[in-house]
Amino acid sequence: MDQTLNKPVRGRPFQPGNNANPRGRPLKDRTIEKLCRAMTSEAVDTLKEIMLNGKKDGDRREAAKVILQYGWGRPRSEVEITTRVDLGQMHLEALKQINTAFEDQKAQAKLIDVTPELEPVGQTPGTDGKTS
Q: What is the pTM of this model?
A: 0.33
pLDDT in tens, 49-103: 887 776 677 877 888 888 888 788 888 888 888 878 788 888 999 999 999 998 8
In 56-110, the DSSP E strands lie at none
What does the alpha-carbon distance between residue 49 and residue 122 come to, in Å, rounded to a whole number? Answer: 95
Band (pLDDT 50/70/90 cuts) for residue 47 is confident
CA dist., res. 43 & res. 66, Å (int): 9
Helix/strand/coil for 9: coil
CA dihedral 57, 63, 67, 73 (to 10 degrees): 80
Residue predicted with more confidence, 94 or 43: 94
Pick from 28, 44, 24: nearest CA to 36: 44
Residue 23 is predicted with a pLDDT of: 76
Q: What is the mean pLDDT of residues 11-18?
A: 72
SS (H, E, C) 98-131: HHHHHHHHHHHCCCCCCCCCCCCCCCCCCCCCCC
Q: How far apart are CA 54 and CA 74, in angstroms?
A: 24
Task: Report the distance separating Cα 63 and Cα 43, nearest Å.
Answer: 8
Q: How far apart are CA 97 and CA 93, in angstroms?
A: 6
For the stretch 95-128, pLDDT in tens is 999 999 988 887 777 666 677 777 777 666 566 5
Enumerate the domain spans of the chain.
28-75
